[in-house]
């Protein structure tokens, strides 16, 4: 968990900061996600999302606007922080305590209270069969 400072900045956890500086020079894209959090994407990952969104039929313009219209380029500053734009902070309900979590090839920023509620709801639906059948050797 990290803290959102008074200017809307979050510190990138050290375990990811060095990798992001080395691979994408600290350049990232922040955009809304449909589950109430913000996605934080390295440019190559965002390029894939943007390509899919731009290729959708016109009937999905609202979803294209939802993702692409909210996308904002940011960079890790000298103090290892990202400035989260105010409109995205407000939309995601980011106030003080923020979860900065890695999710495969991208990251998510969650308001901690919103995350806990979402997590409980999703886990109450039951474990997906693919995970129940997972055998680790």
Tens of pLDDT along the chain (137 residues)?
898 998 999 999 999 999 999 999 999 999 999 999 999 999 999 999 999 999 999 999 999 999 999 999 999 999 999 999 999 999 999 988 999 999 999 999 999 999 999 999 988 988 888 887 876 76
Integer Cα distance of 33 and 80 in angstroms: 23
Q: What CATH number is associated with residue 72? A: 3.40.1550.20
Residue 137 in domain: no
Domain containing 84: what range? Answer: 2-132
Three-class DSSP category at 83:
strand
Beta-sheet pairing, 9-11 with 27-32: unpaired
Question: In 10 A of CB 93, how many CB atoms?
Answer: 14
Residue 30 in domain: yes
Query: Could you tell me which residues come within 8 angstroms of residue 84 by beta carbon, excluding any fewer than 6 positions away?
Result: 4, 8, 9, 10, 30, 38, 74, 94, 109
Residue 52 in domain: yes
């Amino acid at each position: 968990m990290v803290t959102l400072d008074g200017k809307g900045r979050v510190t990138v956890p050290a375990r990811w900061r060095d990798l992001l500086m080395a691979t994408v020079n600290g350049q990232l894209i922040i955009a809304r996600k449909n589950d109430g959090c913000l996605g934080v994407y390295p440019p190559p990952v965002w390029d894939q999302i943007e390509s899919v969104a731009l290729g959708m039929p016109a009937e999905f313009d609202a979803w294209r606007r939802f993702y692409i219209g909210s996308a904002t380029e940011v960079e890790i500053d000298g103090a290892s922080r990202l400035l989260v734009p105010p409109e995205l902070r407000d939309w995601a309900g980011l106030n003080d305590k923020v979860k900065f979590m890695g999710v495969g090839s991208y990251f998510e920023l969650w308001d901690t209270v919103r995350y806990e509620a979402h997590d409980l709801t999703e886990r109450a639906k039951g474990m997906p069969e693919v995970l129940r059948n997972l055998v680790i050797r």
